[in-house]
């Protein structure tokens, strides 16, 4: 029986700038204010990251009533609704917002166009926290569509001023198909100047498109709740390559690799490189002898931290710098 020979690593893979920033916000808050730090929802959708931060003193909650008065609260990278922001303020928490700046950009656009009298069609997955946060920027006039069929059913109050917005972590191809259906039904619809799907989602999907035809099986490292990781697995399968998603190396099964020479490996934007390394080690134990990284886009984007968490020379506060997994200093 042939064993796997080569592992081909997608490039780019793993952490994006928004995830790196969100994790750093929690870690710096813990250093500056001590434990516990409360975080509304999982800071990013990755089991390893969440468990690591729990061990350091983060407490993850869904209801603000679970946070004691005066505590420090962090909003997750997915963003929150206006109602959550207002309730948190009213309860007097010390708040840091780890919403990804590329999600905030969508929130700002929605607020601006709503003031001009626009209604919205949002392309996204029902129940995903990013969708709840974006739709919750308004109290009415934003309509969710999950697929082309939904576009035929949606009933905006008016169509003179209608704009489309998108969850940042969708399949680029699926979103394009749904957008086309929206344009066909509402020809005057306003679309964002730059697509809402973020650079990291686009780049990781593009890398899988290059990777998939070159390998016999694709492994995606990511948690079941991670939207962008699920999309990577679906994309590889759509391209005709057997694909599996694993939360950790423990979930790999030997039979997945029987008779297959080349294994493709990628990771969702919330999956840390340590998990990728553990998967590599496990596949090597099954027989792989070489690891090669594909040529791909070198991501250099880095987002600034919120005020109040930057290292403050005046106070002499020593914050140990976390090495980011993305941006210029990552490699």
Catalytic site positions: 130
Ramachandran bin of 180, using left for φ above 0, alpha for ψ from -120 to 50, beta for the remaining angles: alpha
SS3 162: strand
Chain centroid to CA 195: 16
Burial (Cβ within 10 Å: 0-12, 13-18, ≥19) of residue 1: exposed
Task: Supply 38's token pair.
Answer: 């409360």
CA distance 249 to 230: 17
Which residues lie closer than 8 Å to 286 by C-beta, 6 or more apart? 3, 4, 254, 257
214: closest CA among 292, 320, 125, 311?
Answer: 292
Q: How many residues does the chain have?
A: 331
SS3 7: strand
Confirm if 33 and 309 have CB atoms less than 8 A apart: no
23: closest CA among 3, 48, 6, 5?
Answer: 48
CA distance 267 to 283: 15
CA distance 291 to 264: 10
Confirm if 146 and 121 have CB atoms less than 8 A apart: no
| Alpha helices per DSSP H over the chain | 17-33, 47-56, 82-90, 101-115, 129-135, 148-153, 172-185, 199-211, 227-238, 273-285
């Amino acid at each position: 029986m042939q064993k796997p020979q080569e592992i081909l690593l997608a490039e780019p893979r793993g952490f994006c700038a928004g995830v790196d920033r969100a994790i750093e916000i929690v870690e710096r808050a813990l250093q500056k204010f001590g434990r516990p730090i409360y975080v509304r929802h999982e800071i990013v959708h990755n089991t390893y990251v969440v468990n690591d931060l729990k061990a350091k003193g983060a407490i993850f909650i869904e209801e603000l009533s679970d946070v004691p008065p005066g505590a420090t609260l962090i909003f997750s990278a997915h963003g929150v609704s206006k109602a959550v922001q207002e309730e948190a303020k009213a309860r007097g928490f010390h708040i840091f917002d780890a919403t990804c700046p590329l999600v905030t950009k969508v929130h700002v656009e929605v607020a601006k166009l709503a003031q001009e009298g626009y209604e919205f069609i949002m392309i996204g997955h029902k129940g995903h926290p990013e969708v709840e946060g974006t739709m919750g920027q308004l109290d009415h006039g934003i309509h969710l569509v999950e697929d082309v069929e939904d576009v035929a059913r949606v009933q905006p109050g008016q169509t003179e001023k209608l704009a489309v917005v998108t969850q940042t972590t969708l399949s680029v191809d699926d979103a394009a198909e749904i957008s086309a259906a929206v344009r066909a039904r509402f020809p005057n619809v306003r679309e964002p100047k730059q697509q809402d799907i973020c650079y990291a989602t686009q780049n990781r999907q593009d890398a899988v498109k290059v990777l998939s035809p070159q390998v016999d099986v694709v492994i995606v490292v990511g948690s079941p709740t991670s939207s962008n990781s699920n999309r990577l697995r679906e994309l590889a399968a759509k391209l005709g390559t057997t694909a599996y998603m694993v939360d950790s190396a423990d979930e790999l099964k030997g039979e997945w690799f029987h008779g297959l020479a080349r294994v493709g490996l990628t990771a969702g934007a919330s999956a840390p490189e340590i998990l990728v390394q553990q998967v590599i080690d496990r596949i090597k134990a099954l027989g792989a002898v070489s690891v090669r990284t594909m040529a791909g886009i070198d991501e250099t984007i880095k987002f600034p931290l919120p005020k109040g968490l930057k290292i403050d020379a005046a106070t002499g506060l020593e914050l140990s710098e976390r090495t980011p997994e993305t941006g210029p200093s990552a490699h």
